[in-house]
Amino acid sequence: MTDETTPVLSARGLIKRYGRVTALDSADFDLYPGEVLAVIGDNGAGKSSLIKALSGAVVPDAGEIRMNGRPISFRNPMEAREAGIETVYQTLAVAPSLGIADNLFLGRELRKPGILGSVFRMLDKAEMRRRATQQLSDLGLLTIQNITQAVETLSGGQRQGVAVARSAAFGSKVVILDEPTAALGVKESRRVLNLIKDVRNRGLPVVLISHNMPHVFEVADRIHVHRLGRRAAVIRPDTHSMSDAVAIMTGAVDGDAAA
């Protein structure tokens, strides 16, 4: 099904070196519309470098990134964000003492219309709260009752929910989630996995970086296995098992042969 459609986000031959360490060794990447693509790989396989290159956090030494078929390059995360790629970092990048609505709009606040906004730079808090409530209820997160509640009073899963809601609200093209369930308990992980499905069901493709095989196999449509700085294989959860994935990840099985 994927061969005839253009990838939303793709990369060819990405190379990134840190001194003598080659983090990305001619890596390829393809994300197709409306899918959840999991990226898995052993520690040090270059997952983070790949994601950082795609989200603008590092500039690759060589290689090409395309968005909807058109070549594109990001010098910093802001440029990637402006292009519609939203990243939820493992550290979440939220301001704990600010409210949920404040956090959703952090860095791109709405101002009041007219002279209050243009001259006095006054924030449109009511509109931001309204939209934040809308966004959270769209994602089934209305368990959070008070939109002005400080984020630090939320549980880990709810915070993750706020971060995902923010990315889904502003990510017009791609949402990248870095280890979203790593710090969560069983119940909260479940909530976040459902959230990932919700985001995909709204038509937004999701890149999920995770160490957790059961989670990956549950939500991913395709799985990109990264090994030694490059894409070793792309497998599907319905044709491959977790053991297959681990075998490719560790190099016990040759990626091309397995896929």
**Helix H or strand E segment including 257:** helix 255-258
1 residue type, one letter: M
Of residues 217-236, those binding another protein (CB under 8 A) = 217
Give the span between the Cα atoms of 17 and 94, in whole angstroms: 30
Q: Does 143 bind another protein (CB under 8 A)?
A: yes
Q: Are 39 and 50 in contact (CB under 8 A)?
A: yes
Q: Where are the beta strands (DSSP E) in the chain?
A: 9-18, 21-31, 36-41, 62-67, 70-72, 85-88, 174-178, 206-209, 222-227, 230-235
> 61 or 124, CB closer to another protein?
124
Interface with another protein (CB under 8 A), residue from 44, 113, 114, 214: 214
Largest CA distance in the chain: 66
CB of 94 to another protein, least distance (A): 6
Number of residues located near another protein, criterion CB under 8 A: 42
> 27 or 144, CB closer to another protein?
144
- The site map against another protein for 101-140 (x = CB under 8 A) is -x---xxxx-x--------xxxx-x--------------x
Interface with another protein (CB under 8 A), residue from 21, 59, 62, 95: 95
Residue linked to tokens 């959270």 = 136
CA dihedral 110, 104, 170, 231 (to 10 degrees): 150
CB of 109 to another protein, least distance (A): 4
Could you list the residues that contact another protein (CB under 8 A)?
A: 77-78, 81, 89, 91-98, 102, 106-109, 111, 120-123, 125, 140, 143, 145, 150, 152-153, 157-158, 187, 190-191, 194, 213-214, 217, 241-244
